[in-house]
Chains A and B, each alone.
Chain A
């Protein structure tokens, strides 16, 4: 099996945790020249690159139709009315509802063979957010928490895990589970400005700065007399809080030029995608932007005409912006929901829940653009080639951003692999 993660072998003798420990031991690692010298080691440089990897999850809440997006079946009973369009990848066709994406498919891999079996919203959500079935007594972390932990930096001054979900239907916060509250999402719902991170009005900016300076003064003097990781961690925590307080500007898209805002467009999803770019640019390792609600039991085609227009435009703007800034090669953009939709068209011209044969996409970091993995039958009712489940998708995501998908967390004495037992990454979509 091709491995994408740092392997821990003798050829790569510096561990990530060791590196972070060294970095965190200084007041700021960049000021410590011995650490900078250490970057000359290839393994450490590779680790730093890994550190810079990011993930943006475009969560298509409610379940988008694979037939109206990535796996169209024109001209058959289940195919619906839309035609396909040729993409920039020879032989690859997607729905005509995604014309801008069709011009960018050389950057994207499509997986058309998800069979995740669970077709209720709650169950599908839990499966696709954790990559495994629930177990009583074990709070499995969600994808964002795992990526925050694996890609985030201990000394980071920005949030590790940001999740935006403004619609109320299907809104679920997500959890870091046994990884601990440190990796829970900064969860934005009512508006896009984080709450409770602003300085209290009763404290002036000058007082705020003075208090910080005084605390630093005592902390620095104390740390000279006590050589303790706990003391260093305490200082890091304060640094992080100050960083989080200053990060509110990352959510303020009024700082962006109007021309850039125009590229993303006027919809809320567009604005949230722009915030996502600002966040990953500032070093946030995981951002989830939920676009609800695709649950088109009635009027599926009109719902997809509406929502696909939003997805197509905003996702394309995001990809272009990331690419223009040199961020796309280190940022993985995922489109995923809790399931797809039935090939059968119901009496309301709708499609219902369907988890046996559906699609997702992976773009950017670690991905072989233009790849198509898996195949469904002519009517889109079953997977006929390359069937994968949620765990395999998680392994693929981890591999794409350089995380050892076989890594294990210890929950007490129980090892729990970050991708569920037996998971295998889809090599065909990995660069």
Chain B
């Protein structure tokens, strides 16, 4: 890879709320975010000072934590367990689906945009028909309880770019890989370091797999979270990335960084497979670029707020992050 890649912030728009997720239709200037005020908002990034507009109609009843664009529709998921379909042209909700019994953690679209995939703390991965809103199937390989008898959580889901595979990742560091046609499990990897259970000082846990991403050819799976934490009162652990040749279960890299701590909430591979971008944070935010030949963290930038969501263009040259009290636009270029 070009080891002199440079990350630079191009714009920053402060917000009063927490933005958990972001989606953008086909590299357009229309940007949608999910908020802690339970709303879904549109920004027009072509404007000099983008104003946010709340989408109308039926609303969520809790934090909006997942957004995915599928054709003319935007589908949001929330801690209220509902999926809502929004008509992008009308900027209104058109369908509300009671989808999960617990918090929805992430919503993605299949690469062909015909299906929506959601994961939630009921530990189920569910697949929905975009056109009809019908549940097509559901599956799980994730226990409802942690080994210490507390509720587990299912944070992450990703689809391979060719649409053949799905991956799901939970709080205790278990990843299952699924055939996206038959929905049979075809592989699994474990990342136990991403789950910190403190049996002595504080007697609860923190961490979990927060992000998953397949490489462009689908053979590698990157897993993001946080390493072991000493004081689990805070997100004080090193950011942690693990990369697997998932079909063999071989771990290619494990990279921890203590300079900018916290959870890796988002991962995006460069189409070449040469490098990938991870973003997240503790009370502050970070963006990290990792060389996928050497497994090293080669470039790093800070954000003033924890990064929860990220959307990038196909070439991974322009991206927007959504997070705690802010929306930021970034560029990645050869230095």
A83, A266, A295, A348: residue with the most chain B Cβ atoms closer than 10 Å: A348
Q: Output the nearest chain A residue to B234 by Cβ-Cβ distance.
A: A298
Q: Are A167 and B62 in contact (CB under 8 A)?
A: no
Encoded as 1 (CB less than 8 Å from any A CB) or 0, chain B from 198 to 212 comes to 001111111000000
By DSSP majority rule, is chain A's interface helix, strand, loop, or mixed? loop
Encoded as 1 (CB less than 8 Å from any B CB) or 0, chain A from 277 to 309 comes to 000000000000001110111110011011101
CB-CB under 8 A from A268, the residues of chain B are 203
Q: Are B149 and A347 in contact (CB under 8 A)?
A: no
Mark A residues whose CB is within 8 Å of B: 62, 75, 77, 81-83, 166-169, 265-268, 291-293, 295-299, 302-303, 305-307, 309-310, 345-350
Q: In the complex the two chains form, what is the Cα distance from A302 to B149 in whole Å? A: 15
**Nearest chain A CB to B139 CB, angstrom units:** 23
Q: Apart from A169-B202, A302-B206, what are 15 other A-B pairs with CB-CB below 8 Å?
A: A62-B202, A62-B233, A81-B63, A83-B80, A166-B203, A169-B201, A295-B233, A297-B234, A298-B236, A303-B206, A305-B121, A307-B204, A348-B235, A348-B306, A350-B283
Mark B residues whose CB is within 8 Å of A: 16-18, 36-38, 61-63, 79-80, 103, 121, 148-151, 153, 200-206, 232-236, 262, 281-284, 305-306, 324-325
Q: Are B235 and A267 in contact (CB under 8 A)?
A: no
**Nearest chain A CB to B285 CB, angstrom units:** 8
Supposing A298-B233, A302-B153 touch, asked if A346 and B283 sit within 8 A by C-beta, the answer is yes
Q: Are A345 and B18 in contact (CB under 8 A)?
A: yes
Q: Output the nearest chain A residue to B235 by Cβ-Cβ distance.
A: A298
Q: In the complex the two chains form, what is the Cα distance from A297 to B325 in whole Å? A: 17
Q: Are B62 and A348 in contact (CB under 8 A)?
A: no
Q: Are A348 and B283 in contact (CB under 8 A)?
A: yes
**Nearest chain A CB to B258 CB, angstrom units:** 16
Q: Are B149 and A350 in contact (CB under 8 A)?
A: no
Q: In the complex the two chains form, what is the Cα distance from A83 to B220 in whole Å? A: 39
Q: In the complex the two chains form, what is the Cα distance from A56 to B236 in whole Å? A: 35
Q: In the complex the two chains form, what is the Cα distance from A298 to B235 in whole Å? A: 6
**Nearest chain B CB to A384 CB, angstrom units:** 23
Supposing A167-B200, A266-B149, A292-B203 touch, asked if A350 and B305 sit within 8 A by C-beta, the answer is no
**Nearest chain B CB to A370 CB, angstrom units:** 26
CB-CB under 8 A from B61, the residues of chain A are 75, 83
Q: Output the nearest chain B residue to A270 by Cβ-Cβ distance.
A: B149
Query: Can you name 26 A-B residue pairings with CB atoms under 8 Å?
Result: A62-B233, A77-B17, A77-B36, A81-B63, A81-B103, A83-B61, A167-B200, A167-B202, A168-B201, A268-B203, A292-B202, A293-B204, A295-B202, A297-B233, A298-B232, A298-B233, A298-B283, A299-B206, A303-B204, A303-B206, A306-B150, A306-B204, A309-B150, A347-B306, A348-B234, A349-B18
CB-CB under 8 A from A77, the residues of chain B are 16-17, 36-37
